[in-house]
């Protein structure tokens, strides 16, 4: 499945910019405590980055932001057709960044690159795409094909 050599994959790893902050309320942010921990690849033990060491304060911030966004209705007030288009675009983005996402999966979780390329990442895109296709069927609307 992998069409790249080990040297080519390594060059991609060396060129990655791995985000180290938490994603809360639509933006990257440091942990409230300012704490971090070292993240090493299970593949070769190589240092990857320092990661925000989130704690209860950060979880509470994330939950409050998610609750606020949920209650705003920004998603639930969208039409099924609009939701479908957003999810389809998300699935396409995953497919467009297949190699980068597979590589990140491999170096951060130890998953073999061929498994990430051939199954896990495409499977994620397929799952999101399937859910997108289901939206208008649940609400008895048939959206036009894109």
pTM over cut 0.85? no
Average confidence score pLDDT of the chain? 90
Question: Which domains does the chain possess?
Answer: 6-138 (3.40.605.10)
Tell whether the model's pLDDT for residue 143 goes beyond 90. Answer: no
What DSSP string runs through the chain? ---S-HHHHHHHHHH-----SEEETTEEE--TT--EEEEE-TTT--EEEEEE---HHHHHHHHHHHHHHHHHTTTTTS-HHHHHHHHHHHHHHHHHTHHHHHHHHHHHH---HHHIIIIIHHHHHHHHHHHHHHHHHHTT--PPP-
Instruction: Give yes or no for a contact between 128 and 85, defined as CB atoms under 8 angstroms apart.
Output: no
**Per-residue pLDDT for 114 more than 70?**
yes
- 48, 52, 50: which is closest to 22 by C-alpha? 52
Structure confidence at residue 36 as a pLDDT band (50, 70, 90): very high
Q: What is the pLDDT of residues 46-102, one digit of tens each?
A: 999 999 999 999 999 999 999 999 999 998 888 888 999 999 999 999 999 999 999
């Amino acid at each position: 499945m992998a069409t790249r050599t080990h040297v080519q994959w390594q060059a991609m790893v060396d060129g990655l910019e791995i985000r180290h902050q938490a994603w809360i309320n639509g933006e990257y942010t440091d942990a409230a405590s300012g704490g971090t921990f070292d993240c090493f690849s299970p593949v070769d033990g190589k240092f990857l980055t320092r990661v925000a060491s989130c704690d209860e304060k950060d979880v509470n911030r994330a939950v409050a932001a998610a609750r606020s966004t949920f209650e705003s209705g920004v998603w639930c007030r969208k039409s099924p057709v609009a939701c479908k288009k957003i999810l389809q675009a998300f699935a396409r983005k995953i497919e467009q960044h297949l190699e980068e996402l597979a590589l990140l999966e491999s170096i951060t979780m130890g998953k073999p690159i061929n498994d990430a390329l051939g199954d896990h990442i495409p499977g994620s895109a397929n799952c999101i795409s399937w859910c997108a296709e289901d939206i208008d069927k649940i609400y008895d609307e048939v959206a036009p094909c894109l």
